[in-house]
Amino acid sequence: MAHVLHRAILALATPLGTPLAGDTLFGQLCWALREAKGATELAKRLEGYTRGQPWLVVSDGFPAGYLPKPTLPQHFEPAREPQERKAAKKNRWIPLEASGLSLPQLLAAARDDGTAYGKAPRTGMQSHNTLNRLTGTTGEGEFAPYGLPQTFYQAGQRIDVWLVLDADRTATDEVRRLIEAIGASGFGRDASIGLGKFTVESFQPDRPAAPEGANAHWTLAPCAPQGQDFDGRQSFWRAHTRFGRHGNAHALAANPFKTPVLMASTGAVFSTDGVYAPCPFIGQGLGGEGRLSKAEPATVHQGYAPVLPITMETIAS
């Protein structure tokens, strides 16, 4: 199989109700494929998904021209004066042109939200009401007004999403159409009331520069690295639990929730136990056979992540 890394540049048209996480976007792309070509075609694409054969792997959304800063202990950071360290913690984006630099140079190039986005996103609350159909008004308990967060960006904010396509099973144009369909209907929560709209400015094969002597993988999405023979002493990540839920028609089912899964957050760095070999993605496909959902036994979850090469200093055992 020929897995090829692509870069999509999105232009946001509305606020987001759901963060642009790679595993969430992958799930919505699967639904978009099902709606466009039917359940049989989706099942065909997902053959081998839990056996290391994904048809598509999707990254998180990043400010255009930037990558997530690698998750590393403080001693890897450049030497700074004490008063500079607090401000440096806000520098969480690496310019795309810095991807081929040595680790100290790469970390020194990190920038904050204001620089990466042009204008830092802000979070606000959107009020929602549920009407009691008997009284025609809101009330208490389940009918009480409530608020949900939204993330607001500057007009036309550009976002990068990196996707690995299995060129033997899907085409660039097809995946672009699926992304465009999501952008037109809305991504994530509250798409039905206008959130998550975007357009696709470009979508084509691309690969950031690789550093000399690369020896580790730098992830661009949450992933499930368990059982992948990585060297735990030379790998660094933050763990989080993904409490997933179904989308589309299954979101309205009696039990829309999936089994929680433990994942390594975006920006993790994984070194191999043996000889390093560059690859477009790492991780594994999760679920199938009712392991994630009783409502839809075939449900899978993206435990894969697109990766870039990075050169790590070896830590003495």
Residue 134 lies in a domain: no
Q: Give 146-155 pLDDT, tens digit per residue.
A: 556 678 788 8
Distance (Å, rounded) from C-alpha 122 to C-alpha 62? 15
Domain of 45?
3-129+140-310
Predicted local distance difference test score (pLDDT) of residue 144: 61
Distance (Å, rounded) from C-alpha 202 to C-alpha 6? 10
- In the predicted structure, residue 202 carries a pLDDT above the cut 80: yes
Residue 207 lies in a domain: yes
| Confidence band for 168, pLDDT divided at 50, 70 and 90 | very high
- In the predicted structure, residue 185 carries a pLDDT above the cut 70: yes
Distance (Å, rounded) from C-alpha 264 to C-alpha 22? 13
Q: Are 301 and 24 contacting, i.e. CB atoms less than 8 angstroms apart?
A: no
CB proximity list for 294: less than 8 A, separation 6 or greater: 255
Predicted local distance difference test score (pLDDT) of residue 165: 96
| Confidence band for 123, pLDDT divided at 50, 70 and 90 | confident
Mean pLDDT, the chain, rounded, equals: 87
Q: State how many domains the chain has.
A: 1
Residue 55 lies in a domain: yes
Predicted local distance difference test score (pLDDT) of residue 155: 84
| Confidence band for 80, pLDDT divided at 50, 70 and 90 | confident
Residue 9 lies in a domain: yes
Residue 303 lies in a domain: yes
Which has the minimum average pLDDT: 10-24, 47-61, 162-176, 186-200? Answer: 186-200
- In the predicted structure, residue 316 carries a pLDDT above the cut 60: no
CB proximity list for 151: less than 8 A, separation 6 or greater: 15, 16, 17, 19, 121, 122, 123
- In the predicted structure, residue 171 carries a pLDDT above the cut 90: yes
Distance (Å, rounded) from C-alpha 29 to C-alpha 182? 7
Q: DSSP character for 265?
A: P
Q: Give 268-304 pLDDT, tens digit per residue.
A: 999 987 789 999 999 999 987 777 776 667 789 999 9
Three-state secondary structure string covering 148-174 = EEEEECCCCCEEEEEEEEECCCCCHHH
Residue 204 lies in a domain: yes
Predicted local distance difference test score (pLDDT) of residue 187: 92
Predicted local distance difference test score (pLDDT) of residue 294: 66
Q: Give 210-253 pLDDT, tens digit per residue.
A: 999 999 999 999 999 998 889 988 999 999 998 766 665 555 55
| Confidence band for 72, pLDDT divided at 50, 70 and 90 | very high
Residue type, 38: G
Residue 193 lies in a domain: yes
Distance (Å, rounded) from C-alpha 297 to C-alpha 315? 43
Residue type, 263: M
> How confident is the model over 185-208, as a mean pLDDT?
90
Q: Are 292 and 259 contacting, i.e. CB atoms less than 8 angstroms apart?
A: yes
Q: Give 89-112 pLDDT, tens digit per residue.
A: 889 999 999 999 999 999 999 999
Predicted local distance difference test score (pLDDT) of residue 265: 96
Distance (Å, rounded) from C-alpha 29 to C-alpha 15? 20
Q: Are 73 and 176 contacting, i.e. CB atoms less than 8 angstroms apart?
A: no
> How confident is the model over 61-73, as a mean pLDDT?
96
Q: Are 93 and 67 contacting, i.e. CB atoms less than 8 angstroms apart?
A: yes
Residue 56 lies in a domain: yes
